[in-house]
Structure 1
Amino acid sequence: MKKIIYALVLPLVVVSGLVFANDEVKDEPLKKTTSKPLTATEKEAALKRWEATPDGIKYKEWKASAEGRKVFDASEKVRADIKDYSDMDAVITSLSLPPNSSLGFGLMVKINNEDYILSFGTEKTFVNFLTFNGEFKQLYNLKINDRIIIRSHSVSHAPKYSYPIISGDYVKYDGKVIYERAPRKGGC
């Protein structure tokens, strides 16, 4: 009988010791590290260090190549519309992104005779008891050659892709808004 009592009391003592030890650690003041913004010279130095890495060298080579120049030229054609957040007329050319893409959900579109990736990112789904709603639900109904109006806050590029990447923030089809990115919380 004593062995059973010891077997029950011993784990209780060990667990309570761990709880008290963990509590003491929590009471210690946390040291927060606040990073101040980099100065222009620090940013420039960091960029120079990155450009010397193998990835930086590859990027510079791609940027100077014919394919890289083509992507940058296409980016410049929509830069004014992106800056002003104005409407851009687009025609859907493909309902999927290039193979091995890691941009989430997106479409291929043509704007002013240039091809672009229209990326929406990963989908946040909302599950209800009776329905399954995704934020891209209405975008799935689009077809090739549909004319849409898009607005975006950014255009980017990556050596992995042969096209500029437009972030899909607003899509209008047939006079109706079918997608609008929710504004970020706690920020601009």
Structure 2
Amino acid sequence: MKKAIYALALLLVVAGGLVFANRESKKDTAPKATPRPLTAAEREAELKKWEATPAGIRYKQWEASPIGIKVLSDAATIRKHINASENMEAVVTSFSLPPGSRLGFGVMARIDGADYIVTFEPEKSQLEPLQSLKVDDKLIIKGHVVSFAPKYSYAIVAVEYAERDGKMIFKHAPRKGC
């Protein structure tokens, strides 16, 4: 009787080991599917399909509205400076971002006569100098991207580097794992 129980237990252990071993090998040998880039025609077709959706229609309406035209124009103006990695002078105008914004730490600033949302991605150690900013402080900034969204009446500038009175107060930390 004992031999039968030991044989059954051994059989279960071996069968379980084979099942788990087979499952692991299937995971390892599965080819990774990499999406191929869309052709220009496919991209155009996807864009047309998206423009027919309610979100696409709202975006097109915003794009044609006076606010949308202003935001897109401001974004195009500052994009030239960002692509050239030029220093820009920004004057802090407000610390309150538009209602409902989820942009993290940021301020409203005037750059070349236009208002922008200037966002920082600070680490905890970088918050203190940024929180010491006051209205009408002049900053020298370098942006690394300008974006916009129909939700906001201003273009959004993500800052790479900022200094006040010749002293660096913010430098964008490189992303981990990149």
TM-score by length of 1: 0.78
- Match for 1:179: what amino acid? F
Q: How far off its partner does 1:41 sit?
A: 1.5
1:13-162 paired onto structure 2 within 5 Å: 17=16, 21-28=19-26, 29-121=29-121, 123-124=122-123, 133-162=124-153
Deviations 1:60-111 (A, max 9, x none): 0000001111111211221221110101100111123211101111111011
Amino acid at match of 1:145: D
For structure 2, the residue ranges without an aligned partner over 5 or more in a row are: 1-11
Structure with greater proportional helix content: 2
Deviation of 1:182 after TM superposition, in Å, equals: 2.3
Pick closer, same or farther for the CA change 1:47–1:146 going to 2, 3 Å: same
SS in 2 for 1:136: helix
- 1:177 partner amino acid: M
- Whole-angstrom CA distance in 2 between matches of 1:169 and 1:150: 7
Percent of aligned pairs sharing the same letter:
46
* Cα root mean square deviation, aligned: 2.4
SS at match of 2:140: strand
TM-fit CA distance, 1:183: 3.2
Range with bigger deviation, 34-43 or 84-93: 34-43
Q: Does the alignment pair 1:180 with 2:178? A: no
TM-score w.r.t. the length of structure 2 is 0.82
Alignment coverage as a number of residue pairs: 165
Runs of 5+ unmatched residues, structure 1: 1-12, 125-132
User: Which 10-residue stretch deviates more, 141-150 or 29-38?
Assistant: 29-38
Deviation at residue 49 of structure 1 after TM alignment: 1.0
Deviation at 1:180, TM superposition (A): 1.2
Secondary structure of the corresponding residue to residue 33 of structure 1: coil
3-state SS of paired residue (2:75): helix
SS for the counterpart of 1:32 is: coil
